[in-house]
Amino acid sequence: MGIEIKEDIKGKEVLELAFKHCLKCSTCKYSYKGFAPSCPSGETFLFESYWASGRIRLIRGLINGDLDWTEDIKHPIFACTTCGACADSCQAPHADFIIDMIEALREMAVKHVGPGPNQAALVDRALQTFNPYGEPNSTNEDLKRHYNLPEKAEWVYFIGCTSNYRQKTIRDATLRFLKNAGINFTLIDEHCCTSPMIRTGQVDIVKDFMVYNVEQIRKTGASKVVTSCAGCYRTMKKDFEKFGVSLDFEVYHTVELLKELFDANKLQFKTTYNKKVTYHDPCHLGRHMGLYQTPREIYKKIPGLTLVEMERNRNHAWCCGAGGGVKIGYPEWAIEISEERIKEAQATGATVLSSVCPFCRTNLSDANEKHAGGLEIVDLLEILDQVGIERRSSGKK
């Protein structure tokens, strides 16, 4: 369209799309064809600027100079989980780039009026301890000794900050699974994957962190990386390339590795899991990366487990409420969003609400506890750890 965007930001090219396609048709406000509410931000604040179409109008106004950068304008920019429901429903040519547009808008906002509420702490902590939680950096050497892991291996397990510093049961369950499955893997002294910084528009330190992690992985000689974190997975698969960091290894989520091993008939279960389970699709794994069926296939293989679906599932799933910097920026609202998901899970009659993302596990657990949901919140790897999984003996059918 010829609009000149003077901002020196990573997502500059996608901002031009804001001037080309959006007709404000409101398709982004609801699950496509189902007309069920899909946007936590819009449904909560009920102003146009809190839906994707409104944020695209904000981009136009701010770049054109029709709107001024003020503190008031920060709220509709940062009060969004970037769950991708709007992008899934949008039928315009720019649909696949809506999340990139919102992240580029946030990058602009950081430069003009600063980060969203409480979000500067993510970078401050990462600069000091290499993780957004401010915990003393773990080189993972203790874990390597405990599990007798080599320096060189075919695989690297990239734990991720939330599993390594908060949801350690997911980390430990994954480590036991990888050992029991006979995977030749090791760990690295990892720094944050940078997802929290990218989602909140704070990108100055991102490439340095990415390059460091890639260098550490290369030292192991690994050709494959597996992570149990949906956010780490999305960041490595999509964002590293966007920031000019090339990968010479494959990136897997644990559900993809599980599927490969089961398809090759290499795993077997030790016991049963006689519970009714409903599965929550993490936004970073589902709408962002298109992985819907693979985790469901694994749940259905577990002996005794009954899998039931919530009313909104797969690409129509309601967000857990934690993403996009909302958990740190708007903690009470994050719980409100998650409470709606808890109610949906209760309506299925399931006793267990499970996911494959440590961040989802955190926020769903917080909402379940605060509102006495009565559900057991566990990760898929934790279920497998309870059941027991081992490598099938060669030749055994």
Query: Which whole number is the average pLDDT over 205-214?
Result: 98
Return the closest-CA partner of residue 9 out of 240, 238, 204: 204
The residue from 262, 297, 313 where one domain ends is 262
Q: What is the mean pLDDT of residues 293-319?
A: 97
Rounded to an integer, the average pLDDT of 57-81 is 95
Least confident interval from 1-5, 292-296, 322-326, 381-385: 1-5
DSSP state for residue 235 in the 8-state scheme: I
Count Cβ atoms within 10 A of the Cβ of residue 371 and give its class: 0-12 exposed, 13-18 middle, 19 or more buried: middle
Residue 397 within a domain: no
Most confident of 20-24, 30-34, 201-205: 201-205
pLDDT at residue 4, as a whole number: 61
Task: Taking residues 3-14, report their average pLDDT.
Answer: 69
d(CA 253, CA 282): 12
Which pLDDT value is given to residue 3? Answer: 58
Percent of the chain with pLDDT over 90: 90
Q: How much is the pLDDT for 346?
A: 98
Last residue of a domain, one of 262, 294, 315: 262
DSSP 3-state assignment of 285?
coil
Residue 41 sits in the same domain as residue 99: yes
- For residues 216 and 131, state if they share a domain: yes
CB distance 174 to 157 below 8 Å: yes
| pLDDT value at residue 21 | 83
If we measure between CA atoms, which residue out of 52, 2, 61 comes closest to residue 22? Answer: 52
Whichever domain contains 351, its CATH number is: 3.40.50.1860
pLDDT value for 41: 98
Find out whether 233 and 360 touch, Cβ atoms under 8 Å. no
- Residue 1 forms part of a structural domain: no
Last residue of a domain, one of 230, 262, 294: 262
Give the per-residue pLDDT at 2.
43
Q: Is the pLDDT of residue 139 over 70?
A: yes
Question: Is 280 within a domain?
Answer: yes
Residues 371 and 283 in one domain: yes
Residue 46 has pLDDT above 70, yes or no: yes
Q: Which residue has the tokens 């009954």?
A: 306
Residues 138 and 258 in one domain: yes
Residue 70 lies in a domain: yes
Beta bridge partners of 250: 224
pLDDT of residue 267: 97
Residue 4 burial (CB count, 10 A): 6
**Residue 396, domain member (yes or no):** no
The answer to whether 200 and 106 are in contact (CB under 8 A) is yes
Say if residue 58's pLDDT is above 70: yes
pLDDT tens-digit profile of 161-181?
A: 999 999 999 999 999 999 999
Cα–Cα distance measured from residue 183 to residue 187, given in angstroms and rounded to the nearest whole number = 12
Both 102 and 170 in one domain: the answer is no
What is the pTM assigned to this prediction?
0.96
**How many domains does one find in the chain?**
3
CATH number at residue 147: 3.40.50
Per-residue pLDDT at 310: 97
Residues ≥6 apart with Cβ < 8 Å to 222: 153, 154, 155, 156, 185, 186, 249
The reply to whether 240 and 300 lie within a common domain is: no
Residue 395 has pLDDT above 70, yes or no: no
| Token pair in block for residue 353 | 């609400």
Q: Are residues 274 and 331 in the same domain?
A: yes
143 lies in the same domain as 255 = yes
**156 in a structural domain:** yes
Q: Determine the Cα–Cα distance for residues 348 and 325; give it in Å rounded to an integer.
A: 29
The dihedral sign for the CA sequence 8, 14, 15, 19: positive
Q: Which one, of 329, 312, 314, 242, lies nearest residue 282 by Cα?
A: 314
Q: What is the mean pLDDT of residues 195-209?
A: 97
Can you give the residue range of the structural domain that contains 28?
12-113
Look at residue 394 in the predicted model and tell me its pLDDT.
67
Q: Is residue 7 part of a domain?
A: no
Confidence band of 396 (pLDDT split at 50, 70, 90): very low
Residue 82 near residue 337, CB atoms below 8 Å: no
Q: Give the per-residue pLDDT at 16.
A: 83
3-class secondary-structure state, position 308? strand
Question: What average pLDDT does range 221-236 have in this prediction?
Answer: 98
pLDDT of the residue at 328: 97
pLDDT of residue 23: 84
From the number of C-beta atoms within 10 Å of its C-beta (0-12, 13-18, 19+), residue 321 rates as buried
Query: Are residues 146 and 221 located together in one domain of the fold?
Result: yes
Mean pLDDT of the chain: 95
On whether the CB atoms of residues 119 and 77 are closer than 8 A, the answer is no
What DSSP letter does each residue of 219-230 carry, written as one string?
A: HTT-SEEEES-H
Please check whether residue 322 is in contact with residue 334, taking contact to mean a CB–CB distance below 8 angstroms. yes
Q: d(Cα 132, Cα 165) in Å, to the nearest integer?
A: 10
136 and 251, same domain (yes or no): yes
Is 66 part of any domain? yes
Amino acid identity, position 340: E
The answer to whether 35 and 132 have CB atoms below 8 angstroms apart is no
Closest CA to 205 of 136, 140, 132, 139: 132
Residues 134 and 221 in one domain: yes
Residues 21 and 83 in one domain: yes
pLDDT digits (tens, 9 = 90+) for 234-273: 999 999 999 999 999 999 999 999 999 999 999 999 999 9
User: What one-character DSSP code corresponds to residue 393?
Assistant: P
Read off the pLDDT of each residue in 372-376 and give the average, rounded to a whole number. Answer: 97
